[in-house]
């Protein structure tokens, strides 16, 4: 590294908050890339001239979401442009600057705070796309490693052709809940969130249980009644994501029905679709999320979790921070 230069975190239009938090945690520089939309909605990206040398001098982390769909294209375009810069392919029609430079080595890490399509992780009927795998494999052709933040079901990406780190903000979420809510009880709203939620309960040192959920459709959820020892207690429901809020509202109803006096909802990914926050606030006393997606309940930094993932893949690639 040149004297005084810092390693670089870059971002496009959809994950600037988490990129800033990661850069702050690592003590690296954060360079936002130029992103625009053409009138027909197609995207345009460009690496600013002042960022080009920084991208060539050290490993780089691109923080970008594959959500909404435009995020997939933007992520691919940014990775492609970063690879061209690192491989010294700078030819341009206006002949601005050097046209070619020597290649620099491996070191493009893609960190995805919210991996869109993560929920289609299996082929439920013949002929379906395993969307999570399809998108990850496409992105893996343009980077040297990936960091996935609180991925819904990591198993689908366990055989990727490049190193992948699965990282989680549950330690930071537990600290936040302990400091602000100090819950007596943590509830996982379904079996899928047991591991995440129980790690939070363990860190806080409080009781834990889970519900059995059956999803009838996107808006209809049935929770199997279960006796929970929550009478007079403050409970936090912990999930990986909140979309419509239906899962949390039904779980909160079950908790209130069994005497919980305070109920909070906490997640990594606050999608909050279609008025979800207003709906949630009819059932819970507080909603807590990270900023993996821009949302009004972003109170937990995802920087430390992303940094753990970046260090893990750098170590696997033999790169020194």
Catalytic residues: 213
Number of residues located near ligand R5P, criterion CB under 6 A? 13
243 lies in the site for ligand R5P, by CB under 6 A: yes
Q: Between 26 and 276, name the residue whose CB sits nearer to ligand R5P.
A: 276
Please state the closest distance from residue 301 (CB atom) to ligand R5P, in A: 21
Q: Between 98 and 275, name the residue whose CB sits nearer to ligand R5P.
A: 275
How long, in residues, is the chain? 321
Q: Is 303 strand, coil or helix?
A: helix
Q: Is 134 strand, coil or helix?
A: helix
Please state the closest distance from residue 103 (CB atom) to ligand R5P, in A: 42
Choose the binding region for ligand R5P from 68-76, 167-175, 186-194, 309-317 (rule: CB under 6 A).
Answer: 186-194
193 lies in the site for ligand R5P, by CB under 6 A: yes
Rounded Cα–Cα distance for residues 159 and 75 (Å): 21
Rounded Cα–Cα distance for residues 167 and 164 (Å): 10
Please state the closest distance from residue 192 (CB atom) to ligand R5P, in A: 4
247 lies in the site for ligand R5P, by CB under 6 A: yes
Please state the closest distance from residue 155 (CB atom) to ligand R5P, in A: 14
197 lies in the site for ligand R5P, by CB under 6 A: no
Q: Between 140 and 177, name the residue whose CB sits nearer to ligand R5P.
A: 177
Q: Cα–chain-centroid distance for residue 12?
A: 15
Instruction: Determine which residue in the list 26, 146, 151, 242 makes contact with ligand R5P, applying CB under 6 A.
Output: 242
Contact predicate 60/109, CB 8 Å = yes
Please state the closest distance from residue 158 (CB atom) to ligand R5P, in A: 19
Pairing outcome for strands 212-217 and 185-188: unpaired
Instruction: Determine which residue in the list 244, 292, 295, 301 makes contact with ligand R5P, applying CB under 6 A.
Output: 244
Please state the closest distance from residue 15 (CB atom) to ligand R5P, in A: 20
257 membership: H or E segment, kind and range: helix 246-257
Q: What is the CB neighbour count within 10 angstroms for residue 298?
A: 18
252 lies in the site for ligand R5P, by CB under 6 A: no
Q: What is the DSSP string of 211-233?
A: -EEEEEETTEEEEEP-----TT-
Q: The tokens of 175 are what?
A: 């600290």
290 membership: H or E segment, kind and range: strand 286-290
Choose the binding region for ligand R5P from 19-27, 201-209, 245-253, 286-294 (rule: CB under 6 A).
Answer: 245-253
Longest dimension (CA), the chain: 72
167 lies in the site for ligand R5P, by CB under 6 A: no
245 lies in the site for ligand R5P, by CB under 6 A: yes
- Which of left, alpha, beta for 142 (phi over 0: left; psi -120 to 50: alpha)? alpha
270 lies in the site for ligand R5P, by CB under 6 A: no
Instruction: Determine which residue in the list 58, 240, 262, 298 makes contact with ligand R5P, applying CB under 6 A.
Output: 240
Choose the binding region for ligand R5P from 27-35, 109-117, 155-163, 187-195 (rule: CB under 6 A).
Answer: 187-195
Contact predicate 237/201, CB 8 Å = no
Please state the closest distance from residue 308 (CB atom) to ligand R5P, in A: 22
Pairing outcome for strands 262-270 and 286-290: parallel
241 lies in the site for ligand R5P, by CB under 6 A: yes
Residues near 299 by Cβ (< 8 Å), separated by ≥ 6?
A: 176, 288, 289
Chain residues in the site for ligand R5P (CB under 6 A): 189-190, 192-193, 239-247
């Amino acid at each position: 590294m040149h004297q005084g230069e810092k390693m670089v975190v870059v971002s496009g239009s959809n994950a600037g908050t988490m990129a800033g938090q990661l850069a702050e945690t690592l003590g690296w520089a954060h360079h936002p890339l130029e992103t625009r939309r053409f009138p027909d909605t197609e995207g345009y990206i460009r690496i600013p001239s002042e960022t080009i040398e920084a991208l060539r001098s050290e490993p780089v982390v691109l923080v970008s979401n594959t959500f909404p769909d435009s995020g997939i294209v933007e992520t691919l375009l940014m990775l492609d442009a970063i690879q061209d810069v690192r491989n010294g392919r700078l030819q341009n029609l206006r002949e601005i600057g050097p046209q070619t430079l020597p290649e620099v080595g491996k070191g493009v890490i893609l960190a995805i705070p919210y991996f869109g399509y993560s929920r289609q992780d299996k082929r439920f009927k013949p002929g379906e796309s395993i969307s999570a795998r399809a998108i990850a494999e496409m992105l893996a052709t343009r980077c040297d490693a990936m960091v996935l933040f609180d991925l819904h079901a990591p198993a689908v990406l366990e055989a990727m052709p490049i190193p992948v780190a699965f990282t989680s903000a549950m330690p930071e979420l537990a600290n936040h809940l302990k400091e602000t809510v100090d819950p007596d009880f943590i509830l996982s709203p379904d079996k899928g969130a047991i591991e995440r939620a129980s790690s939070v309960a363990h860190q806080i040192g409080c009781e834990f249980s889970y519900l059995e959920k059956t999803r009838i459709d996107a808006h209809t959820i049935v929770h199997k009644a279960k006796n929970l020892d929550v009478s007079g207690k403050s409970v936090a429901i912990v999930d990986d994501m909140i979309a419509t809020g239906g899962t949390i509202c039904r779980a909160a109803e079950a908790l209130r029905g069994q005497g919980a006096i305070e109920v909070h909802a906490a997640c990594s990914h606050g999608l909050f679709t279609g008025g979800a926050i207003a709906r949630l606030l009819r059932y819970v006393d507080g909603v807590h999320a990270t900023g993996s997606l821009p949302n009004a309940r972003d109170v937990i930094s995802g920087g430390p979790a992303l940094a753990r993932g970046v260090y893990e893949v750098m170590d696997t690639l033999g790169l020194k921070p």
